[in-house]
Amino acid sequence: MSRAIPTALGRDLVTFFEDFLPAQRGLSPHTIRSYRDALLLLLRFTARELRRTVDRLDVPDLTVERITRFLAALETERHNSVLTRNARLGAIHVFARYLAGQRPEHLGTLQRIIGMPFKRGAVETPIEYLDRAELDALLKSIDRSTDLGRRDYALFAFMFNTGARVQEALNVRVADVRLEAPPQVRLLGKGRKVRTCPLWPATARLLRDLIAERSDFRDGSVSPLVFTNARGAPLTRYGVRYLLCRYVQKAARVAPSLKSKKLHPHSIRHSTAVALLKSGVDFVTISQWLGHAGLNTTMRYARADLDLKRRALAQVFPHAVAPPPGGRLLLDGSDLAGWLRRL
């Protein structure tokens, strides 16, 4: 049986993911996977409506009306938030712009898709972070008498020191780290932008010990990853999330405030930002430290920390937080679908 000839949509999807996003747009693998997930959901929704396989879909099948129904289904059937719904639409916008350059005969429909507005009412997710006592409890919950425990301790200490996104930390290779004074690390961030972060002497010592314990660091081949699993394979974001949840459960026995927090690896990055802000570091430096695209992202941390709000209140209305008399106030399916899944 002869293989079906790919449709124009199928061919454009391949070049979109294999060439346009990584080579021309320079997007990271993580961002490309998020685009893949959005378009795969849309293709499956469209195939279900038309009672076809994904492989047989073509550009005219992507209409404003169908995408509107798809976006509604994300909220009603998949219970996605408005933020997630808008992120999916953003990926569709990018693909529609790409298709407009490849298939000008469908320009009218594609322009209507590009013009589909984002939904208002997206609620900014509260920023969860660890304060100093909670972070200390987390690190102390790690058993450093084992190889994996020392790796985990070094990983979370490194993430707090640098404020690195979890994938940025997992992508760090030995060649990216300078342990001599002044110690520093090179991080590859969003948009393939490179930034350099200083390392505290204590963090540098942890990394030096970790590297010294690993035999594959000395084989002279391609610079290996610093953080790997027990088999020497790369750690995953999901693996780090699992480790964090496990240690948070242990640490909650000492720091009960952890029980009410919904923490994830990005929370450590939030913790770095808030700690820098509390130490008096300016927004521009924090933005560069964390690799933010603009100051608006950094400003969220000022809104998130209650202590900073209390200090601002004390400066404007000192009597509002003055100790009360006699006491003190403490301020604390198909081939195409399968190909997309494998990206």
Residue 126 to residues 180, 196, 249, 304, 309: CA-CA distances in angstroms?
39, 28, 21, 7, 15
List Cα–Cα distances, 276 to 17, 122, 180, 205, 281, in angstroms.
38, 28, 24, 22, 6
Catalytic site includes residue 186: no
Residue 269 is a catalytic residue? yes
Q: Which helix (H) or strand (E) holds 268?
A: helix 265-278
Name the catalytic one among 85, 165, 247, 270.
165
Which of 96, 142, 98, 136 is closest to 116 using CA atoms? 96
Q: Give the CA distances from residue 315 to residues 69, 300, 318, 319, 330, in Å, rounded to whole numbers and listed in that order.
A: 51, 20, 6, 9, 16
Active site residue 266: yes
What type of residue is 44? R
**Catalytic residue, candidates 56, 140, 266, 278:** 266
Cis peptide before 182 (omega within 30 of 0): yes
Give catalytic status of residue 190 as yes or no.
yes
Cα gap 182→264, rounded to integer Å: 30
Report CA dihedral (48, 51, 56, 61) to the nearest 10 degrees.
-70
Active site residue 144: no
Calculated CA dihedral for residues 238, 242, 247, 250, nearest 10 degrees: 160
DSSP readout, 36-83?
HHHHHHHHHHHHHHHT--GGG--GGG--HHHHHHHHHHHHHTS---HH
> Which of the residues 44, 66, 190, 208 is marked catalytic?
190
Q: If DSSP codes are grouped into helix, strand and coil, which group holds residue 119?
A: coil
Question: How far apart are the C-alpha atoms of 127 and 298, rounded to whole Å?
Answer: 12
Two tokens at 75? 């909220």
Catalytic hit among 36, 88, 151, 292: 292
Q: Looking at 36, 88, 106, 269, which residue is catalytic?
A: 269
Residues serving a catalytic function are 165, 190, 266, 269, 292, 301
